[in-house]
Chains A and B, each alone.
Chain A
Amino acid sequence: MTAPTTPAPSLFGASIKRREDPRFITGKGRFTDDVVMPGMTHAAFVRSPHAFAIIRSIDTSRASALPGVRAVFTGEQLAAAGVNGLPAGWLLPDIKVPYRPVLSVGHARHVGEAVAVVIADSAAVARDAAELVDVDYEPLVAVADTATALSHPTQIHDIAPDNRCFHWSIGDAAPVDAAFASAPHVVRQRFVNNRLAAMAMEPRASLASYDVAGDELTLYVTSQNPHVHRLIMGAFVLGLAEHRFRVIAPDVGGGFGSKIFIYPEEVVVAWAAKKIGRPVKWTATRSESFLTDAQGRDHVSEAEMALSNDGKVLALRVKTIANVGSGLSLFAPAVPTYLYATLLSGAYAIPAIHCEVDAVFTNTTPVDAYRGAGRPEACYLIERMMDLSAKHLGMSPVDIRRLNFIPAHAFPYQTPVALCYDSGNYEPALDMALTKADYASLLQRQAEGRANGRYIGIGFSTYIEACSIAPSQVVGALGSQAGLYESAHVRVHPTGSVTVYTGSHSHGQGHETTFAQIVADQLGIPMDAVDIVHGDTGKVQFGMGTYGSRSGALGGTSIYMSLQKIKDKAKKIAAHLLEAAEADIEFEGGKFYVRGAPDRAKQFADVTLAAYLGHNLPSGLEPGLEATSFFDPSNFTFPFGTHIAVVEIERSTGHVTLLNYIAVDDVGNVINPMIVDGMVHGGIAQGVAQALWESVHFAPDGQPLNASLMEYAVPRADQLIKYNTGRTVTPSPVNPLGVKGAGETGTIASTPAIANAVMDALSPFGVSHIDMPLTPSKLWTAMNGSTGGL
């Protein structure tokens, strides 16, 4: 045998076609609703039509009498059976955590809240019967508006006066006050960050079955984190031992945060399957998704920026009211606090920052993490403030950013709002984006357009974000009720193929490809010899799942760490087989060989077989070849970049056309560029949509006004354009792969880029700010001399 003369091209960094795609392009994906079990029954939920009401009584007799109905349950029955409420997974000082039963008890607090459940032999009969459940409601005056919830006469929860869930602050107020007292310039703006629906295309679903013989409950559920589901549902809500409760998240059709959380329906389905002794399935209609999937954003903020004469930001002061909806969804408290206010320094060296947050209850759908989760709200605020400040000072939006950037030599950089940015180099990304946009000629085109009644706008977002929130010890001290590490078990089989069990969960991210690239790259074996297993607590050790752009940096690194353990052990065996010192063994291209004597070699598969035969191992070494790692990093990772949006507003209609979109992102090392670009594209589309089209609206009485795809403006192909992407690479120092996370950059960066572009286009009209979404009617009104009420 000879050692390879030319090294195989590295799989790490290659745009490999996805291995999961053949099943999806042939219709063989296996989503929760695709799973069928013998004897399966179907659940349908009775939902409150009122935003706030007392439930006087529930009469289930007509529903129970319908042929095909197996059972009808109410909240009181579940409570009597010992089913607990849904817990909050992040606690803050003095936070009010109202009891959140899975089916309403006493009151219903938002439209769509589940009040009772019907279980029947078919989904159609279950729905028919749900219509026959008679609930006697006494409607109450509801609170829906974020800005006025604190002063509304209605109190939604007894334990929460003024509808305040918590008051929280970060940063040191004294230096901020001092800076404002002496600053030559202060720029102020109020911002409404509009509420959004996550709108994963696969509606939530769950299917549970109980095996009496093994006393084991199995739950298929649309989850981004099946172990979190198992832990919380098992330990806190249903009182089930984890070794007898298996949670499977099979193919999941997008999540964007909305499938992190534990929802009432899956708890009811799991409990009912055991109770009635038959499998129970529930799949949300899109209407139910709009009413009950946790929604995102919904902030009202007052921001003030103090500036020097030459454009240096001296201080930032922010007061935010964040709407958490009718009760606390799992990670709701973390989103408008540690995932938001800690990012308010953006990419800038701001000496003093103070932010206060009031979280408020309203009679609306609960709000929690949605793609970006807090970081888009922070990025929007700071990037809009940079533009407003530039305008105030007569500076270019590029110059003010460059002037205030944290310089490349200043990393690690401690912000005044807790985070320490591990690395960064912001100017090259800005420069690359300016080149891609051909900024000089764009400015010329804009000037010429204006002379001819064409309104082109150029918008910047030189964003930063924070991924893979960590380490566990720190998040625990800040209130998280969970650790935020990730795990991997790598099992090498006797003939050299590999199964990886990862605690990450892929619902579109392509882990079956990218993680296999890491393994094949490290072990020098073909990707076909590697399988990635995820999404099943019956197979995977433990894991925290996928959200917050954490899976590359945490899931990928824990695989990498296990592979180092595997290689270390394999090297010992190879040295023994080759009768050489371990220190003299090289491992390259799937082959162990003696340094300087490449013919003295053993293939990876020779060594793995030896490991399992156990006939000839170094003394004291155990047979077998597998390794488990839990990776808990020392810090977050901090992707950054520059996005530039170019838009044109039609003077006669206010319609916005996207002319160009440039995204230069630095997500560290990239495992699969094709996949990263894809995530950037999708993220941009969602962020653009917040700026221009999407917004969840409630009437003052809490009735949702656009809870269907007929009214909620999810973008279609003909509203969007091709995105012009680029990359700089500043590897993260906090993990050995040097990766950061790419799932959310697009969403975080693009919203302010678009808003800044639209405001730039409107500048000839003397308009400095309009709240999102920037719909034609608002823009037309602004161009016609009034922002009246908008």
Chain B
Amino acid sequence: MAQITVTVNGTTEHHDVEPRTLLVHFLRERLSLTGTHVGCDTSQCGACTVLLDGASVKSCTVLAVQADGASITTIEGIAKDGQYHPLQTAFWEQHGLQCGFCTPGMIMSSIDLLRRNPSPSEAEIRAGLEGNICRCTGYHNIVNAVAAAAEQMRAAATPAHVN
């Protein structure tokens, strides 16, 4: 067993874990944060995406012990004061989800995508989400959702756009 300390969605957690425990299993099973999903065993699908110190990672590809000392944000931690993150709102409004299984990973990847590039083109959104698979939507409305959220976030961040 190894001891780790992580901050997850703002709460500090001390836990003993088997060294082979994957971060995704730690989040799902130890912390009951089941919004982070497992869709594959080859780090291809992105359903498990979380933010590790602000950058998106596939939590099936990180050992819990590697996250020791880090700050982690999961889908459960992105709404603030009862307000959805703009990407959550945009996925809902643009119908960016059907079965909802890929959705948490898609949203977490998109947060990092917009952090790195606040004004992505359609091609940049598609390239940026290349590590996340959705089998339901054909990506059309996911791309629309990310574009809509980007616009909304830019507007919110730019005083000139605020009335």
Asked if A and B bind, the verdict is yes
Interface hit among B61-69, B88-96, B155-163: B88-96
B135/A686 in contact, CB under 8 A: yes
Residue of B35, B98, B131 near A254 (CB, 8 A) is B98
Given A26-B88, A200-B99, A678-B95, 14 more A-B residue pairs with CB atoms under 8 Å apart are: A17-B92, A22-B92, A283-B38, A286-B39, A674-B95, A679-B98, A682-B138, A708-B42, A710-B42, A717-B130, A717-B143, A718-B123, A720-B139, A722-B143
Q: How far is the CB of A25 from chain B (nearest CB, A)?
A: 4
B136/A508 in contact, CB under 8 A: yes
The answer to whether A681 and B133 touch (CB under 8 A), given A33-B38, A710-B42, is: no
Residue interface bits A11-38, CB-to-B below 8 A is 1, else 0? 0000001101111111111110110100
Check if A510 is an interface residue, CB within 8 A of chain B: yes
Residue interface bits A701-735, CB-to-B below 8 A is 1, else 0? 00000001110001011101011000000000000
The answer to whether A201 and B99 touch (CB under 8 A), given A18-B92, A27-B75, A709-B44, is: yes
Check if A507 is an interface residue, CB within 8 A of chain B: yes
Check if A287 is an interface residue, CB within 8 A of chain B: yes
A252/B103 in contact, CB under 8 A: no
CA gap between A677 and B20 in the complex, in Å: 43
Chain A contact-residue range equals 35 or more
A203/B135 in contact, CB under 8 A: no
Q: How far is the CB of A688 from chain B (nearest CB, A)?
A: 8
A681/B99 in contact, CB under 8 A: no
Across the interface, name the chain A residue whose C-beta is closest to B105: A201
B103/A25 in contact, CB under 8 A: yes
Chain B residues within an 8 Å CB radius of A679? 98
Chain A residues within an 8 Å CB radius of B131? 716
Q: How far is the CB of B56 from chain A (nearest CB, A)?
A: 15
Check if A345 is an interface residue, CB within 8 A of chain B: no
Check if B45 is an interface residue, CB within 8 A of chain A: yes
Q: Which of B7-49 contact A (CB under 8 A)?
A: 18, 20, 28-29, 32-42, 44-45, 47
A685/B99 in contact, CB under 8 A: no
B100/A678 in contact, CB under 8 A: no
CA gap between A765 and B125 in the complex, in Å: 36
Residue interface bits B108-144, CB-to-A below 8 A is 1, else 0? 0000000000000011011101111111111111110
Across the interface, name the chain B residue whose C-beta is closest to A34: B34
Chain A residues within an 8 Å CB radius of B84? 25-26
Chain A residues within an 8 Å CB radius of B104? 24-25, 27
Chain B contact-residue range equals 35 or more
Chain B residues within an 8 Å CB radius of A465? none
A202/B99 in contact, CB under 8 A: yes
Chain B residues within an 8 Å CB radius of A714? 133, 135
B92/A201 in contact, CB under 8 A: no
Chain B residues within an 8 Å CB radius of A28? 35, 76
Chain A residues within an 8 Å CB radius of B74? 27
Residue of A199, A283, A508, A718 near B100 (CB, 8 A) is A508
CA gap between A717 and B141 in the complex, in Å: 11
CA gap between A340 and B84 in the complex, in Å: 46
B39/A124 in contact, CB under 8 A: no
19 A–B contact pairs at CB < 8 A? A22-B92, A25-B75, A25-B107, A26-B79, A27-B74, A29-B35, A200-B101, A201-B101, A254-B101, A283-B38, A286-B42, A286-B45, A510-B98, A678-B98, A682-B136, A685-B139, A708-B41, A710-B42, A716-B131
Check if B51 is an interface residue, CB within 8 A of chain A: no
CA gap between A17 and B120 in the complex, in Å: 25
Chain B residues within an 8 Å CB radius of A203? 38-39
CA gap between A69 and B39 in the complex, in Å: 26
Q: How far is the CB of B94 from chain A (nearest CB, A)?
A: 9
CA gap between A510 and B92 in the complex, in Å: 12
A681/B97 in contact, CB under 8 A: no
B-side binding surface: helix, strand, loop or mixed? loop
Q: How far is the CB of A527 from chain B (nearest CB, A)?
A: 15
A681/B92 in contact, CB under 8 A: no
The answer to whether A21 and B97 touch (CB under 8 A), given A26-B75, A199-B135, A285-B41, is: yes
The answer to whether A202 and B41 touch (CB under 8 A), given A20-B100, A508-B100, A674-B95, is: no
A286/B103 in contact, CB under 8 A: no
B140/A722 in contact, CB under 8 A: yes
CA gap between A386 and B95 in the complex, in Å: 36
B141/A678 in contact, CB under 8 A: yes
Across the interface, name the chain A residue whose C-beta is closest to B85: A25
B92/A678 in contact, CB under 8 A: no
Chain B residues within an 8 Å CB radius of A252? 99
CA gap between A685 and B102 in the complex, in Å: 16
Chain A residues within an 8 Å CB radius of B101? 29, 31, 200-202, 253-254
Chain A residues within an 8 Å CB radius of B130? 716-718
Chain B residues within an 8 Å CB radius of A26? 35, 75-76, 79, 84, 88
CA gap between A692 and B37 in the complex, in Å: 28
Chain B residues within an 8 Å CB radius of A283? 38
Chain A residues within an 8 Å CB radius of B141? 678, 681
Q: Which of A218-257 contact B (CB under 8 A)?
A: 251-254, 256
CA gap between A784 and B41 in the complex, in Å: 39
Q: How far is the CB of B44 from chain A (nearest CB, A)?
A: 4
Residue of A30, A201, A674 near B133 (CB, 8 A) is A201
Chain A residues within an 8 Å CB radius of B107? 25
Q: How far is the CB of A363 from chain B (nearest CB, A)?
A: 24
Q: How far is the CB of A197 from chain B (nearest CB, A)?
A: 10
B98/A27 in contact, CB under 8 A: no
Q: How far is the CB of A726 from chain B (nearest CB, A)?
A: 14
- Which residue, B40, B133, B143, has most C-beta atoms of chain A within 10 A? B40
Chain A residues within an 8 Å CB radius of B32? 36
CA gap between A426 and B132 in the complex, in Å: 38
